[in-house]
Amino acid sequence: MSQQEFYLDSNATTVVLPPIADAVMTALTQEFGNPSSSHVTGIRAKARMERTRALARQVMGAENGEVIFTSGATEGIQTAVISALQSAKRRPMPEKPLLLYGATEHKAVPETLKHWARLLDVPAEVRAIPVDHRGRLDLDFIAAHVDRALMVCTMAVNNETGCFQDLRALEQVIRTGNPQVPWMVDCVQALGKLPLALSSTTIDYAPFSGHKLYAPKGIGWLYVREGAGLTPVIAGGGQEGGLRSGTENGAGIAALEVLFGLMLADDSTFADHATLLDYRAQLVATLTRVFPDLVFNQDHSCSVPTTLNFSVPGFSSKELMDLFDAAGIRVSSGSACSSKVTRSFVLDAMGLPAWQSESAIRLSFGPAMTAPELKAVCERIDTAVSALATSCLLESEHDAEKFGLKGLIQFKAGSSCCWLYVDPDSDHCVVVDPVDSLNERLERLIRCQDLTPVAILDTHGHADHVSSGVALREALSDRIPPFLMEVDALGWPNACGSRRTLADGQVMPALVLGESVLVRVPLPGHTDDSVGLFLSRNEGDTLLSEDLDFAFCGDTILMGSLGRTNFSNSQPQALYHSLNQLSVWLSPDTLICPSHDYHHQFATSLAAEQREGGLLAQVLSGGMAEEAFLSAKAELDRGLCDQPGTELMCGATPTQTSVAVAELSGQELCQWRSEGRRMSVLDIREPHEFALSPTQGADNVPLSRLVNFMAQQRYRLDSDPVVLICRSGSRSLLASQSLRRLGINNILHVAGGHALS
């Protein structure tokens, strides 16, 4: 479904404004001369280049010094660093020399310093200047180290938080401690947002980039202070006065000419500072209304108004990006050059809590934003967040049709898995292997769906912490029947008196969940108290292996591996017998749901493990004696390397093998539809995403429900093709690989997802 796009990622790049695009096209088709040519067409091109250079000086407040056109800020940074290092090599080297840069600097700066220091054989340590919780540089640190610095690199405005530095204070401390040290200030994000007066400073180098302010990519410029050392990075025909060879980018320079004219005009296209502050206030009001618990990761008093960086408790960056994308709102999790959604090194350097770094969203707009556009943006944000009520992830003042929860739902926090099973014929549910960081979400979901928790269970005890099931049980005590509140160490209700007979005749305790039943069996090995929880839709007194839909085995079996058995309360010998016993109780295709998933494979089965041929396969084949197993298991555990401060590994993780998956393009999917081909299309985005932009002719099977879908459809998936689609193709690829691993082969995924459809 097509919808209007709201682009709020201007710190990554901006749209090219129409008059600038027109100037580019004119330069490409009519005023395309080479500025080095002596004929009239070349003379005109050179005149435009010099006009643009003069306008750049006005924009920067730089009456003197060099203005060199480049391909962008990264090239300007290279030139500045090489020039500074070459100058340093010509001077006496201080003892223990340093190359200083701000800890929140764009990665282009420290990586460039390291690269050229190594290639130019400059024996200097590249060291980060600490920042405070606002992102302001530590002036005392600079004062203590600048005398040994060969170069100092700072940022005018941070690209993730919008924090601007006090350049006058920086200048004073730098020049007091080292009057001659080369000083580079990255001015990319300052352009059009802060007044610049470079000639009144001792800044030696200032790189700029056109595409951060409505010009095309591939054009930028570098300011070099008069008297600063300058070593050309590109040699050749001697263009740019011999300071940067290569035929100049005439179309890009034409774009800058128009851009600078717009910036300097009295009736500027760009909003003034007061207007931008008002725009920010409106966005802040909208965000804090729809996300009452939202936390801003910046101090607005020292950040430009065009950048907002925030985190929402209980939501990861990826979840929020997926939500906004489904609503047609383009935001970022941080720097576009660090686009893998992980932690933000900028927020880490500021000392913010880990959850804020992991959940950060950057919303950025340009100074050409208009009041009507801003109003539409705020309305769309309201619509997007309201859709979260569909998934019971957030309360909303609007009515929303909730996505019904029946069957098995998987939740993940890092590699830890938590499972919620909702009986399809009642409102009874059970939580397996609760995770502390997911408790709030689980409680909200259970209350929103008006469910009755029968039990909150662990598959094994935890030597290093109290189970989070204790806190979740207390939080939901008003919903749990009182007679089920008294539980054992793993959460099993003491009042449970039901029992069921398994395939080998053993009778085990059972919990009845409406029309479903959950059976507990001993599975010692990973720990001495490890248990398995078998779930069946068959409520009969005897449960054969084919009656068991899911087996929650904790860390006994992991995808492609086994849980570790080198804890003080582990029993490797018992694990051997537990594995053999599982092969009696479970069918080859019973879905095994672990408490850890290190490679995003969701679930496994005995059949899948046998096909992979690991240690478990050798046990199940009957060809491995107990003694050989103990030796092989000890070797497997020796490969675990627990690092202080990192997540404790609960099992060895084999190298992930690539599973080939058939792909369709968005165009091919459309063609298949037009041809009337038989197929099932599954949109595996979460319900709130699907509600915002549904896929025509598709069923919504969220990734969190994939394991439940496997159990329901595993005997019917090899008939017609099943096509999976998501936002970008990444989730559909993971899901397809998991299905293929479990032996379901008639699966295709849409490469590029909705983004390329």
Q: Dihedral sign for Cα 552, 553, 555, 558, please.
A: negative
Q: Is the pLDDT of residue 170 over 60?
A: yes
Kindly state whether residues 72 and 131 are assigned to the same domain: yes
**Residue 397 pLDDT grade (very low, low, confident, very high; cuts 50, 70, 90):** low
Q: List, in order, residues 6 or more apart from 262 with CB less than 8 Å away.
A: 17, 19, 20, 268, 269, 270
> In Å, how far are 132, 198, 201, 297 from 175, measured between CA atoms?
22, 15, 11, 31
Mean pLDDT value of segment 636-665 = 72
pLDDT in tens, 521-565: 999 999 999 999 999 988 889 999 999 999 999 999 999 899 999
**Residue 220 pLDDT grade (very low, low, confident, very high; cuts 50, 70, 90):** very high
Q: CA 429, 609, 653: angle at the middle one, nearest 5? A: 85
Lowest mean pLDDT among 146-160, 219-233, 527-541, 703-717: 703-717
Q: Is the pLDDT of residue 753 over 60?
A: yes
Placement of tokens 């998987």 in the chain: 410
Mean pLDDT value of segment 247-258 = 96
Task: State pTM to two decimals.
Answer: 0.89
Mean pLDDT value of segment 439-451 = 92
Mean pLDDT value of segment 372-383 = 96
Q: Is residue 581 part of a domain?
A: yes
Q: Which two tokens stand for residue 369?
A: 């934003």
Other beta carbons within 10 Å of 506: 14
Kindly state whether residues 31 and 167 are assigned to the same domain: yes
User: Where are the strands (E) in 492-577, listed by range?
Assistant: 498-502, 507-513, 516-522, 531-536, 542-543, 550-554, 557-558, 561-562
Question: What's the pLDDT score for residue 463?
Answer: 66
Number of domains in the chain: 4
Mean pLDDT value of segment 508-522 = 95
Domain final residue pick, 334, 361, 391: 391
Q: Could you list the residue range(s) of the whole structural domain that residue 321 is in?
A: 6-11+271-391
Q: Is residue 127 part of a domain?
A: yes
Q: Is the pLDDT of residue 113 over 60?
A: yes
| CATH code at position 491 | 3.60.15.10
Kindly state whether residues 258 and 305 are assigned to the same domain: no
Q: Is residue 647 part of a domain?
A: no
Kindly state whether residues 203 and 346 are assigned to the same domain: no
Mean pLDDT value of segment 231-248 = 92
CA-based nearest residue to 278, from 397, 376, 374? 374
Question: What's the pLDDT score for residue 337?
Answer: 46
Q: Is residue 237 part of a domain?
A: yes
Question: What's the pLDDT score for residue 301?
Answer: 97
Q: List, in order, residues 6 or more apart from 98 with CB less than 8 Å away.
A: 124, 125, 126, 127, 145, 148, 149, 150
Q: Is residue 47 part of a domain?
A: yes
Placement of tokens 């050798």 in the chain: 618
Question: What's the pLDDT score for residue 44?
Answer: 93
Question: What's the pLDDT score for residue 106?
Answer: 94
Kindly state whether residues 26 and 166 are assigned to the same domain: yes
Kindly state whether residues 348 and 422 are assigned to the same domain: no
Q: Is the pLDDT of residue 340 over 60?
A: no
Question: What's the pLDDT score for residue 4?
Answer: 87
Q: Is residue 1 part of a domain?
A: no
Kindly state whether residues 284 and 250 are assigned to the same domain: no
Q: Mean pLDDT highest for which of 203-217, 316-330, 389-403?
A: 203-217
307 neighbors 366 (Cβ within 8 angstroms): no
Q: Is residue 172 part of a domain?
A: yes
559 neighbors 604 (Cβ within 8 angstroms): yes
pLDDT in tens, 554-593: 999 999 899 999 888 999 999 999 999 999 999 999 999 9
Which residue has better confidence, 403 or 52? 52
| CATH code at position 106 | 3.40.640.10
Kindly state whether residues 315 and 224 are assigned to the same domain: no
Kindly state whether residues 299 and 184 are assigned to the same domain: no
Placement of tokens 């009755």 in the chain: 452
**Residue 648 pLDDT grade (very low, low, confident, very high; cuts 50, 70, 90):** low
Q: Average pLDDT of the chain?
A: 92
- Residue 437: exposure state from Cβ atoms within 10 A (0-12, 13-18, ≥19): middle
Classify 652 as helix, strand or coil: coil
> In Å, how far are 97, 221, 476 from 455, measured between CA atoms?
62, 64, 11
Kindly state whether residues 303 and 422 are assigned to the same domain: no
Q: Is the pLDDT of residue 654 over 70?
A: no
Q: Is residue 396 part of a domain?
A: no
Q: Dihedral sign for Cα 335, 337, 339, 342, please.
A: negative
Kindly state whether residues 258 and 277 are assigned to the same domain: no
| CATH code at position 320 | 3.90.1150.10
Kindly state whether residues 317 and 285 are assigned to the same domain: yes
Other beta carbons within 10 Å of 125: 11
Question: What's the pLDDT score for residue 405?
Answer: 82
Is residue 151 within a helix (H) or strand (E), and if so which, with residue range? Answer: strand 149-155
Q: Is the pLDDT of residue 94 over 50?
A: yes
| CATH code at position 700 | 3.40.250.10
Q: Which two tokens stand for residue 455?
A: 């039990």
- Which residues are catalytically annotated? 337
> In Å, how far are 517, 717, 740 from 710, measured between CA atoms?
19, 9, 11
Q: Which two tokens stand for residue 236?
A: 């050749």
Domain final residue pick, 264, 291, 325: 264
Placement of tokens 């397996």 in the chain: 432
Task: Report d(CA 427, CA 194) in Å as an integer.
Answer: 57
